[in-house]
Amino acid sequence: MLPAGYFTVKEHEFKKCRQSGFCVRQRAYSDLVDLKKEPTPYKILRETVSVQKDNGVLTCEVLNQLSNIKYNFKLEALENQTVRIRLEEKDPKKKQYASVGNFSLVEEPKSTPFKTYVKAKSETEFSILEFGKNAKMLLQENPLLLTLKVNEVSVFTFNEKGYLHYEHHREKATVKNSEEPALKNEDSPGMEEVLAEELSEKEKLEKELKEKLEFGMWEESFEGNTDSKKYGIPEHASSFNLKNTRGNDVAYSEPYRLYNFDVFEYILDSPMGLYGSIPFMMGHKKGNTVGMFWMNSAEMWVDIEREVELKTRAKQTVTHWSAESGILDLFVMLGPTPREVSSQYTSLTGKPALPQLFAIAYHQCRWNYNDEADVKEVNAKFDEYEIPYDVLWLDIEHTDGKKYFTWDEVKFPTPQEMQNNLAKTGRKMVTIIDPHLKKDDNYYVSKEAKALDLFVKNKDGGDFEGWCWPGNSQWLDYTDPKARKFWAEQFKFESYKGSTSSLYTWNDMNEPSVFSGPETTMPKDNIHYEGWEHRDVHNVYGMLQQRATFEGHLLRSSNLDRPFVLSRAFFLGTQRYGAIWTGDNFAKWDHMEASVPMLLTIGVSGVTFSGADVGGFFGNPDPLLLLRWYQLAAFQPFFRAHAHIDTKRREPWIFGEPYTTLIRNAIRSRYRILPYLYTLNFEANLHGWPVMRPMMYEFPEDYFVYDMGDQYMLGDTILVKAVVNETSPSVKVYLPQGKWYDYTEFNAIDRPKDGLINYDTPTDKIPIFLRGGSILTRRERMRRSSSLMKRDPYTFYIALDDLELASGKIYTDDGHTFNHLKGSYIYSEFEFKINGNSGKLSSKNLLVKEFGASKVTKNYFKNQDVDFGGRLERIVIFGFKKPNFKLVEVKVENKILSFKKEKNEVFVIKDPAVFIGEEWEISFKFE
């Protein structure tokens, strides 16, 4: 959030590539390579090659034949079909930051042996190293070139175009080491004007590019080729399939930027960096998916270029990455499916945390709820209008003068009583706690941090000071383990006065946002723990605050309660610590539309728990926009309404009928699918799979969906398409091969050959479909909050496929502790199938190896063994092939069950009297 009145981004205040020295040089180098068509100067020194076959490691030295600088090169085969490529200067004049793995990796990756190693006979031939499952590395020594293959198909190439340009550190007398040279105005004469007129155009261009190579100080980059469709590198308000920034058909003249900063009402359809940066990319084509990430927390720029290979005419995508500092430490995950890439990637950077149940329910927020009376009234209105919700949020105005961990004693005199009143109906509260600390000797947090010397330093060694919400502020150095420990301790109940166990945390402004700083953030020459500059650790800063907050939640509950922490900034590994959101969006139809590809990109990049502010943060939505946003966000991972302090109130009942009823219905639709959503979050925690999935993720062989970023799958069962036009009476939706059903009516959709249908969109619905072959588990009874539903019965919705089969799973536990790690959970799989005139619905319990065998005993619900689970009260089946199909008998354990046939050939079986988590069979007879 930004001060009142800041409603448009001042784009000129944020750097372009032409204003970033290392980006200018890197683009110039790649242009020069393309112009001169000369081979890369990098070669492996043959005599230095060492292969540890049993450990899956190759090491050697690489020489830049132009500068005569040597580099250490390391190639590792890792477990889970992954390769690590590491390149760093052998004898650097300035030490290079290489410690971000301490924050982004869950542990040091384990290598796997090379199965075979065939050494090249000459430096221009390829050495072959086989590993894993049908995977191999082909390494050429001169020029340096690495190709990775799976099943004999090339899926990734390093330095094929010769763009590798790893500069050694150089001192310039005319430029301070910590600063980049001043830039001419965009409209001032360009560099070409210094060239002599008699030079040829090619000579002019070559001279210009060489001049640009001297612009700035130092950096590194790599080039990779992973095929035609590319996704990832969030955060940008752009398409899901990344657009060209070089070559032909350029969509953006700028590369994609990865640099966390505070951007208000961000520009849409732009490669401009936003609040988070994840240097991860996924490439996909039929039969192969590959992922890669560069473990580096400095500023980056990424160019995308699609081209046609001259010899084979095959389409390929070249990506050119540049980083300001650090080393080249690259991981490549070889899939070969999107799910396997997600699993491989998160086995390195960490599986997403399993959220508490309340966290995936509905959150009500604005800047600001004014006082305790306001909180009480809003809470009561939800009950009055019978709208469920789980969390009420307080923004910065709840504090004493923007001093975090404090309360305004006039507006919030009894914060514990306020929280306890919400907790009576299972509701929680969240307060904002930003990283900037007001410089005030009477503010205990700031005073203690200064005494312990925990603040980020300026370039001269003093505590850095900048301007933010409280005025003059200072920032903890979260790269320092002592600072993280100090921060975590502030969440103890005895430290955070007025807090209770039902209070959770929102970390905003943690890019970090510094109003008085360059690009609204810290100067790059600030100094962190162990002497590293801010430029080296910038993108990891916000994640480390979220981590320290997460650890504070664990500390206050003695590791019993799962934390909930929302962060605006994010990086590699953020998924281990909680949720993020897309930042300060606007109450406009195109911002709602943009939220879909943004969330899809964030999800495939590992952060599976994310959302966008419902209704838009800035501005005042009209009632139809607000309604459509609720209807969409109810089927996205994180569901929170939020608004700027200057906006009009927009709680669900504000606009009156029919909008109150329609918004209530949208929120209730969220609560119905909580069992399904909780299962998806469990699968994310177990496998790293996104909750909100791009169409290509579920249909990787369907080329038509590869570019698709305007519709998505919620898990593998529900297809969702946004309504983003206020006047359109219908929306075009693509249904992949298979059987599909209307989500509310359960009628089968008549899918045309091309899969495209026009779906009517009256105000009470958006296009949502059930996938044939699925069993969706819902809870239909509405309560005031999710925790009050924990013993309510379940309903199965069985959507048959073309073979009249269906299956589904459910995971449940107590919803808030870590007892599931000790076996207190239920994980069950359900299958329905027909054989002739009989059918069977069965339940089978599944083992979660990571949690151990379930300790939930038989008849648990009847015996009150656990406080979760429940009986199955209704079964709804639809999609039988034969018209006028008759169901004549349903029974379980010789007990005959009642049933009825409804419209659209839907059969409803009442009260089967079986329990989720127990193994059973229900039999069916048909005529």
* DSSP annotation string for 903-924: GGGEEEEEEEEEETTS-EEEEE
CB atoms under 10 Å from CB of 660, counted, come to 18
Burial of 505 (0-12, 13-18, 19+ CB in 10 A): buried
Q: Which of 88, 511, 683, 813 is catalytic?
A: 511
Domain end marker among 349, 371, 401? 349
Q: Considering 324, 349, 374, which residue would you say is the last residue of a domain? A: 349
Q: For residue 86, count other CB atoms closer than 10 A to its CB.
A: 18
- CATH number assigned to the domain comprising residue 89: 2.60.40.1760
Give the mean model confidence (pLDDT) for residues 48-74.
Answer: 97
The C-alpha angle 216, 173, 180, rounded to 5 degrees, equals 25
**Residue pLDDT, tens place only, 213-252:** 544 433 233 344 434 589 999 999 999 999 999 988 899 9
How far, in Å, are 394, 590, 724, 798 from residue 625 at the CA level? 24, 10, 8, 33
Residue type at 146 in one-letter notation: L
DSSP of 337-356: SHHHHHHHHHHHH-PPP---
Q: In this prediction, what percent of the chain has a pLDDT beyond 70?
A: 91
Name the burial class of residue 893, with classes exposed (0-12), middle (13-18) and buried (19+) by CB atoms within 10 angstroms of its CB. Answer: exposed
| 716/736 Cα distance (integer angstroms) | 12
**Catalytic residue flag (residue 792):** no
3-state secondary structure of 5: coil
DSSP 283-321: EEETTEEEEEEE---S-EEEEEEEEE-TTT--EEEEEEE
> Per-residue confidence at 203, pLDDT binned at 50, 70, 90?
low
Q: What is the mean pLDDT of the chain?
A: 91
Which residue, among 272, 295, 179, 326, has the nearest Cα to 543 in the 3D structure? 295
According to the model, what pLDDT value does residue 88 have?
97
Within a domain: 616:
no
Virtual torsion, Cα 858, 859, 865, 869, nearest 10 deg: 100
* CATH number for position 915: 2.60.40.1180
Q: Which amino acid is at 151?
A: N
Contacts of 779 (CB under 8 A, 6+ apart): 671, 672, 674, 675, 789, 792, 793, 794, 795, 870
Whether 252 is covered by a domain: the verdict is: no
Quick check: 209 pLDDT over 60?
Answer: no
List own/partner pairs for 61-67 with CB under 8 A and 24 or more apart: 61/90, 62/87, 62/144, 64/166, 65/41, 66/41, 67/41, 67/168
Quick one: which of 699, 695, 756, 702 has its CA closest to 731?
756
Residue 718 confidence (pLDDT)? 99
Residue 205 has pLDDT above 70, yes or no: no
Specify the amino acid at residue 99: S
Q: What is the pTM of this model?
A: 0.93
Tell me which of 220, 299, 584, 804 is the catalytic residue. Answer: 584
Residue 472 lies in a domain: no
Identify whether 108 is part of a domain. yes
Integer Cα distance of 569 and 263 in angstroms = 11
pLDDT band at 156; cut points 50, 70, 90: very high
**Has residue 506 been placed in a domain?**
no
For 650, phi then psi, to 5°, come to -145, 30
Q: At what angle do helices 623-633 and 659-672 cross, to 10 degrees?
A: 10
Cα angle 828-832-835, degrees, rounded to a multiple of 5: 145
Nearest to 612, CA basis, from 697, 730, 724, 780: 724
pLDDT at 199: 46
Predicted confidence band at 206 (pLDDT cuts at 50, 70, 90)? Answer: low
Determine which one of 235, 254, 508, 698 is catalytic.
508
pLDDT at 475 over 80: yes
Q: Which of 213-227, 337-351, 480-494, 723-737 has the lowest mean pLDDT?
A: 213-227
Catalytic site residue 584? yes
Q: Which residue has the tokens 């955060």?
A: 235
Residue-level pLDDT at 31: 84
pLDDT bucket at 308, cuts 50 / 70 / 90: low
| Total number of domains in the chain | 2
**Cβ atoms within 10 Å of 87's Cβ, excluding its own:** 21
Residue 867: the pLDDT is 79
Residue 382 in 3-state DSSP?
Answer: helix
Is residue 384, in this structure, part of any structural domain at all? no
Using one digit for the tens of pLDDT, what is the confidence trace for 14-45? 889 888 888 888 888 888 888 888 888 999 99
Last residue of a domain, one of 294, 328, 349: 349
The answer to whether residue 73 scores a pLDDT higher than 60 is yes
Can you give the residue range of the structural domain that contains 283?
A: 39-170+216-233+278-349
Distances (CA, A) of 601 to 605, 673, 726: 6, 23, 25
Residue 511 known to be catalytic = yes
Cis peptide before 512 (omega within 30 of 0): yes
Give the list of residues 6+ apart from residue 20 with CB closer than 8 angstroms, or none: 180, 216, 299, 301, 324
Most confident of 9-13, 461-465, 878-882: 461-465
**pLDDT band for position 728 (50/70/90)?**
confident
- When pLDDT is averaged across residues 391-395 and rounded to a whole number, the result is 99
- Is the pLDDT assigned to residue 202 strictly greater than 80? no
Let me know if residue 454 belongs to a domain. no
Is 157 inside any structural domain?
Answer: yes
